[in-house]
């Protein structure tokens, strides 16, 4: 596995890569990470690699040719179609799934921008993918590149003590990790959960699995239905409910109420009409069945419906109505929920 980093500041990267877990992994030969100075490909006596952007604007732009020559040299040394990843605030967000996919390959090239970024033509020419480390901007691609290289390197066999070390971590299976405790058993009046002291591995594992779901639901419910990831959502079924006072209602009842109260603005009305038609056509509305409310669960694999419900959530949020997203793995079974009965449809 070889990672090549193309940058104007190779020493910045080398300094990080020489320390700690990754430093030891490189020294131990588990992974090969090389840093290349784009300036070595400047091709002029002043070693200039940047210029003013056409059309004006502050700052300098990294020029296409030195980047192209640097990446071409790396491709000649590795593979002509070596994957190039440009770290960019405009890229798709970096996820553990992408990291795993890259770690399973035999290597890739990371391009770091600096100043105002790079001449966009070189990205097209190199067929570079753009990956972002978050919706914010840092001064250069070096820190993002090191984050990607570090995240990929720790998945390479031999870098961590064993596979379990990262398989238990947050995001490996799209869930967050369970809470962890160390000595002492009681700290400032807070005790370690009894099950962790039981020595019963089966029980501990069961507790950890349950806590992973609970923690994810509490801290990052968006991970359970993640529309950014193109991945399969975790839960098989999902129900969107609004909670006014007391028991949760399916969102359609609340939407009808908002509509009847003429609380929707014209843009929201359009969404309502579109969604109303769709749901009438394809899905049953929650019905009263022998005096008990029947909630409708939607299959989370049906991205269209889940996405529509999420856009309804935006409307409710705008009207300051609280939304609950309720997940279920139970198929075709009636489950009791807050005294109501809910039914998961196949
Ligand atoms: C100051 S930024 C340039 C931002 C660019 N002008 C824009 O608005 O899209 C300089 C470099 O930092 C890197 N960078 C900045 N923010 C990043 C982010 N969130 N993720 C990945 N790379 C980032 C990119 O390589 C970028 O070329």
Q: Is the CB of 57 under 6 A from ligand 1?
A: no
In terms of domains, do 34 and 143 share one?
A: yes
Write out the DSSP string of 271-283. Answer: HHHHHHHHHHHHS
Give the per-residue pLDDT at 341: 44
Give percent above pLDDT 70 in the chain: 79
pLDDT in tens, 163-185: 787 888 998 877 899 999 999 99
| Residue 154 known to be catalytic | yes
| Best residue among 57, 138, 146 to mutate for probing ligand 1, ranked by most atoms within 8 Å of CB | 138
| Residue 89 known to be catalytic | yes
Residue-averaged pLDDT of the chain? 83
In terms of domains, do 133 and 189 share one?
A: no
Is residue 333 in a domain? yes
More confident residue, 293 or 267: 267
Instruction: Give the residue numbers spanning the domain of 206.
Output: 172-219
How remote is the CA of residue 130 from the centroid of ligand 1, in Å? 10
In terms of domains, do 46 and 72 share one?
A: yes
* pTM for this predicted structure: 0.72
Is residue 161 in a domain? no
- The least confident of 75-79, 228-232, 274-278, 300-304 is 228-232
In terms of domains, do 98 and 214 share one?
A: no
In terms of domains, do 8 and 146 share one?
A: yes
In terms of domains, do 70 and 43 share one?
A: yes
Tokens of 34: 């090389």
Omega before residue 333 within 30° of 0, cis: no
In terms of domains, do 6 and 144 share one?
A: yes
Tokens of 286: 């929650």
In terms of domains, do 69 and 131 share one?
A: yes
Is pLDDT above 60 for 343? no
**Total domains, the chain:** 3
Q: Is the CB of 239 under 6 A from ligand 1?
A: no
Q: What is the mean pLDDT of residues 293-322?
A: 73
In terms of domains, do 241 and 318 share one?
A: yes
pLDDT in tens, 69-84: 999 999 999 999 999 9
In terms of domains, do 181 and 245 share one?
A: no
Assess contact for 31 and 135: CB atoms under 8 A.
no
* Active-site residue (options: 89, 92, 221, 324): 89
In terms of domains, do 188 and 50 share one?
A: no
CATH code assigned at 213:
1.10.1270.20
pLDDT band at 285 (very low <50, low <70, confident <90, very high): very low
Give the per-residue pLDDT at 164: 80
In terms of domains, do 309 and 191 share one?
A: no
Burial 215-253 (b: 16+ CB within 10 A, else e): bbbeeeeebbbbeebeeebbbbbbbbbbeeeeebbbbbe
Give the per-residue pLDDT at 197: 92
- The least confident of 65-79, 204-218, 237-251, 317-331 is 237-251
């Amino acid at each position: 596995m070889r990672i090549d980093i193309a940058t104007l500041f190779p020493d910045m990267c080398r300094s990080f890569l020489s320390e700690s877990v990754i430093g030891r992994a490189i020294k131990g030969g588990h992974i090969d990470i090389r840093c290349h100075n784009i300036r070595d490909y400047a091709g002029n006596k002043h070693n200039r690699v940047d210029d003013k952007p056409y059309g004006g604007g502050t700052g300098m732009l990294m020029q296409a040719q030195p980047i192209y020559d640097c990446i071409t040299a790396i491709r000649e040394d590795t593979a002509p179609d070596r994957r190039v990843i440009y770290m960019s605030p405009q890229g798709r967000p970096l996820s553990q799934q992408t990291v795993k996919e890259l770690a399973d390959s035999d290597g890739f090239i990371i391009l770091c921008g600096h100043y105002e970024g790079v001449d966009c033509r070189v990205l097209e020419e190199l067929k570079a993918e753009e990956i972002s480390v978050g919706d914010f901007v840092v001064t250069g691609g070096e820190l993002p590149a090191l984050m990607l290289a570090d995240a990929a390197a720790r998945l390479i066999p031999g870098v961590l003590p064993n596979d379990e070390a990262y398989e238990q971590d947050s995001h490996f299976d799209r869930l967050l990790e369970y809470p962890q405790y160390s000595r002492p058993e009681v700290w400032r009046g807070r005790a370690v959960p009894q099950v962790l002291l039981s020595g019963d591995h089966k029980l501990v594992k069961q507790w950890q699995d349950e806590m992973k779901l609970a923690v994810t639901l509490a801290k990052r419910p968006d991970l359970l239905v993640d529309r950014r990831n193109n991945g399969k959502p975790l839960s098989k079924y999902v129900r969107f409910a609004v909670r006014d006072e007391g028991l949760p209602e399916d969102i359609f009842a609340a939407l009808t109420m908002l509509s009847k109260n003429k609380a929707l603005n014209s843009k929201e009305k359009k969404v309502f009409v579109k969604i109303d038609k769709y749901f009438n056509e394809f899905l049953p509305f929650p019905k009263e069945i022998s005096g008990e409310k029947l909630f409708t669960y939607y299959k989370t694999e049906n991205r269209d419906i889940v996405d529509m419900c999420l856009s309804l959530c935006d409307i409710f949020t705008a009207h300051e109505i609280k939304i609950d997203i309720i997940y279920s793995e139970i198929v075709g079974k009636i489950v009791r929920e807050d005294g109501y009965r809910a039914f998961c449809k196949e």
